[in-house]
Structures are given as C-alpha cells and as structure tokens.
Structure 1
Amino acid sequence: MKPWQWPEDRWRNCVNRVRAGKRLTPPWPAGKRCAVALSFDLDHETNELCVGGNSIGRMSNGQYGNRRGMPRIMSLLRQYDMKASFFVPAVAAKLYPAEQRAIVGEGHEIGIHGWIHELNSGLPPANERDLMMRSVEALEQITRARPVGMRTPSWDFSEKTLSIAREMGLLYDSSLMADDSCYELLENLEPTGVVEIPVEWIRDDAPYFAMSRIAPLRPHISPEDVLAIFMREFEQAYLEGEMFQLTLHPHIIGYRSRIWILEELIRAAKAKGDVWFATHRQVAEHAATAL
C-alpha cells in the first residue's frame, strides 16, 4: 500500500508516535536573557566502525579528534570558564577512557551517544534496548558518573527509542527538531516527563565541513560563512530570549583553520553580559521545573 492509500489512522499513528508537547523554555534563570548550550559529539573511530568499515584512513581521522581536536576544545572551554556537554559512543569511551575521565573531572557533562554509533531505526527493539543499557553502564563505569541524557547517533530515532529512554529514567534527549527551545516529549500523545533539547543541522558543523573521497561530498562553504550562520542563529536566539544550542565534533571543528569559529562564538556570547552558559543537563533540569 502506497502512502497516499493509507487510512487516516495509519498516518495519524505514524505522526503521533513521538511528538512535541508542552513548551518548557524560556524564561531562564533570573537576570539571563538567553541560554547557550554547547555540545560535542565524540564519535572518533566509530564513524567508520559503525558501518562495518576498517579503513585505516577514516579511523585516523577519528583519532585526530582525540589527539588534536579535543585538546583545543578543552583549552578553549578552560580559557573562557565554560562548561559543555559531550555525547560519547561507548566504544569511543572504551578506546579513550582517560579522555572521558578528564571531561568529567573538569566539570563537563557526559551523555549517551549509542554503543558504536549505530542507527537505532535499523535495529530490532531488543538489540536497541541492549545497546542503550550497555552504553550507559560503560560510561558510568569509566567516569563514575551516570549519564542523565542522550543523543542518538546521527539523531536517528526508532519507534522504541523514547520508551527505552523512559525505562532508563533519562531526564532528557537531544536528538529531535520540533522547536528552538526545550519541550516535553509526547509518546502516542501522552506526556512523558522527558525534556527535549532540540538540535538542528543548521547548528551542526558536520553538514558544512564533512567530506568523502568516494562519494561526491565535499565542503562547499568557507569557515567564515559557517561562523556567519552560527552567529545569526545566536543573535536571533538572543533577540527572542531563547536558546542557542550547538553541536560540534572534535574531528571536524578541531582543525587549526576551524577552531577559531568556536572561540568567536564564545566571545560574542560572553560580550552580551546576560547569557546563561549551561550544560544540556542544566538546561534540562531548569526546563523540567515547568513540567
């Protein structure tokens, strides 16, 4: 049966599986006009491993994120006294346990980002649940801090992802795109109490800078233009009194010709004087008070 032949209950059920509910932010903490929530997806070698690949070259690109990208990012956050959220596949955490302990040790947040950067929608429900459970246990074992939030790999959400997150008692998700500020997730139109911190490809470095030597995919935009897009997003968020959420990757933003984009954004936000810089957990905890 083609989609145009579906009965109404079929397309309604499809739409209503996971839906945006009550809008939870703003207002922000007293005296703050806008929230800035920086996040980094530490995919490292799992971008290659998740597709069953064994390309030495692609894995070396992932290793760059650990060797050079992360030190630059951590140095900047330290310099400007910023706290951020890091979403880490369990396999990447196992490859670099000292990196994860250093992140938590400096007051940043670690969040779930799958086991090996697998796509949830391609998994049987039992396998998806097993991998999510194993992932949170691995991160807790390595860091001694149990994650309270998740970002699905590639922002891929299955029919069962939300129910598994609820079973795990997670506070928030950051994988969906129904708003600019936080909202409560609905499952089959029922409130869940799970806060969504929405993402967007516009506010992600990968679409602008990713490339493949095989596929016809090449960076087509300059770092200056990417900064201009991010800056416009931030300035409008500030004007509206809402949230600027950003997703970056150490193996992408961490290069010498790109890391300055992050510094310019931080400097511009700091210059406002009334911006709340928060981890995703802090944003979700604040938003949850409106549930």
Structure 2
Amino acid sequence: MNTQATPSPQFYLTAPAACPYLAGEMERKVFTHLVGHRAAEMNDLLTQGGFRRSQNIAYRPACEGCRACVSVRILAGEFEPGRTMRKLIASNRDIVGTMLPPQPTTEQFSLFRRYLDDRHQRGGMSDMSALDYAIMVEDTHVNTRLIEYRIRAPGDGIGDKPKGELVGVALTDMMSDGLSMVYSFFNTRLEKRSLGTYMILDHISRTKTLGLPHVYLGYWVKGSSKMNYKTRYQPQEHLTPRGWERYRPEEDALENAFLR
C-alpha cells in the first residue's frame, strides 16, 4: 500500500502594484507553479476555479477591497452567432486556422511585435524580446497548442498547410472541459476583418466540434472599456462567490441604469 502523500501546490501572494485596468486601484495576485506530472490536471482545476495561466504560473486576483475581475467562460454548446457575427465569419472564409505544437517562429514574433507596438505600447509586455516570446510559448507543462491563422494563398490545396500571410496567432490550452485562450494577437491593420472577434468565434466552433462545453476567456473587468468585448458572446457564465452562474446582460444594464 502506497501511503506517500500527493504534494499539494504552494500558493504565494504578490506585493501590491498599480492596476492596469482601473485607475487609482491597486492589484495583488495569488499564484502557484504548474510543474510536474500533475500540471495539466492542476491547470484544469485551477482554471475552473478562476485562475489563469502564464507560462508555468497559475494566478488569480487577490485584491483588497476590489472584486471587479470576474472569470468568464462561454457556453459553446448553446452559442449561436448573430447576424453580424455570421457576416464576419463569411467575410473571413479565406482564413484557415491550423493547430500546431507550442513552437515559436520568427514569423510569429514579428506579428507579435507589431501587435504590441500598435495596441500595447505602455503595457507590461511592451519590451518583450524574441527570447521572452519563445519562453511565453514553450514554458509550459500542460497541454498547450498554437493556432496560426493565415489567409489561404492561391494554389493551396485543402490538405496542405496554408502558406499565405500569417494574420493571427492564439496560444490555447486544451482542457478536459474546453479550450482556454491564454493569449492571442493579430494584424491590427486589417480592421475590417475584426480578427480578435473571429479568433474567439473559431475557438467556439472548435470547442463544439470537440463536444466540450466551455471556452475560457479570462477576466472581464466591469468598468474597464478594454474588457467590454468579452460580454458579447452569449450565453456565458461568470464565476461568483456562489460558483459559476449564467450572466444576464439585461440585469447588468438595469443595475447600471439604476446607479446613474
């Protein structure tokens, strides 16, 4: 009989730092390391409990006096795109997404740098080097994939790996109950394609095909305009002190109207 106890994860708390989403607020995070043979299992459990993954770290907000960060997951099986989203999918029918091992390339990094320069010049990732990018992709003990999105070039066969322009990349964790979008970036100059929206819709479609229920989008921060897009994908659930509950936009709108 094996009486050896299974090691439990050790959790740590970061020092306070300025919140990147809400002016005047300070943020703290609780985190643990995702390493060893149980890393994938722990990633599943922690993601379902409101954590996010960055490299081999799982973290969640632990701010004093603020609970604005809310974990969001789309109910993929129930999701049906509306008219605008269907038009978007149709307009991007020449884009092909290919799932690949988490192996960084120079082409990906070039797109990543352009994305940061266009969208996040003052963000915490703004000075990331090619080595930093490689670590972000490769430093994982869980079931991670890269999905490359390319515009299919003339002459590409259906079974061929697309050779056209790389316009988007998603770093995605494959979980027991769905897909978790860890980080994504795209060509911001192709505004009419709305590539950020398209990649989320593609993840929903992939999750349906896998017969799994959820697409994890990370945190929605009420009051932050940067995060408003996450509530467009209905139905979805938010993690509350009572567990995962279906988000009802009409109730949120009523509350906002009352507060005004």
Larger strand fraction of residues: 2
Q: Which has the higher contact order (CA 8 A, sep 6+)?
A: 1
* Structures share fold, TM-score greater than 0.5: no
TM-score (structure 2 length as normaliser): 0.30
TM-score (structure 1 length as normaliser): 0.28
Larger helix fraction of residues: 1
